[in-house]
């Protein structure tokens, strides 16, 4: 069964550093998403991406964050100047073109900011 692959599985970074979280969505999917989950809290939407541009973003997704699809396969989330409160699981997801197709989520990257 096709999978969404995320790397690394765990990233530790110092406060103030930049991190890039990487995702390889399912190859024929067209919609891409980032969600995050702070330990013990809800899964929160960050951003959706379609046709090489952001289609929707939440209040969490401020200027500190950016997304990019640098080639035909990767989808990245960059967090500039990380803060302690950015520590969370970050999930990438993708979905197909059919309206109301379900998402496929990756297994996540655990980001720890120290």
Partner 1 sequence: DAKTTQPNSMESNEEEPVHLPCNHSTISGTDYIHWYRQLPSQGPEYVIHGLTSNVNNRMASLAIAEDRKSSTLILHRATLRDAAVYYCILRDGGVTGNQFYFGTGTSLTVIP
Q: Which of 31, 64, 74, 76 binds partner 1 (CB under 8 A)?
A: 31
CA atoms within 13 A on the CB side of 108: 14
A 10 A CB-CB count for 56 gives 12
Is residue 65 at the binding interface for partner 1, with CB under 8 A as the rule? no
**Subset of residues 40 to 59 that bind partner 1, contact rule: CB under 8 A:** 42-45, 48, 50, 55-56, 58
Q: How many Å is the Cα radius of gyration of the chain? A: 13
Note whether 6 and 67 are within 8 A (CB): no
Note whether 31 and 50 are within 8 A (CB): yes
The minimum distance between CB 15 and partner 1, in angstroms, equals: 24
Residue 93 vs 113, nearer CB to partner 1 = 93
Using CB under 8 A, count the residues that bind partner 1. 27
Question: How far apart (Å, rounded) are the C-alpha atoms in residues 105 and 25?
Answer: 9
The minimum distance between CB 50 and partner 1, in angstroms, equals: 5
Is residue 95 at the binding interface for partner 1, with CB under 8 A as the rule? yes
The minimum distance between CB 21 and partner 1, in angstroms, equals: 13
């Amino acid at each position: 069964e096709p999978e969404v692959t995320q790397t690394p599985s765990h990233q530790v970074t110092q406060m103030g550093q930049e991190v890039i979280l990487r995702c390889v969505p399912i190859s024929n999917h067209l919609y891409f998403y980032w969600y995050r989950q702070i330990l013990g809290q809800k899964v929160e939407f960050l951003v959706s991406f379609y046709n090489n541009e952001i289609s929707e973003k939440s209040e969490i997704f401020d200027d500190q964050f950016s997304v990019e699809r640098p080639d035909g396969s990767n989808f990245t989330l960059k967090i500039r100047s990380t803060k302690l409160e950015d520590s969370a699981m970050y999930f990438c997801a993708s979905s197909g073109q059919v309206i109301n197709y379900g998402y496929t989520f990756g297994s996540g990257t655990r980001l720890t900011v120290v």
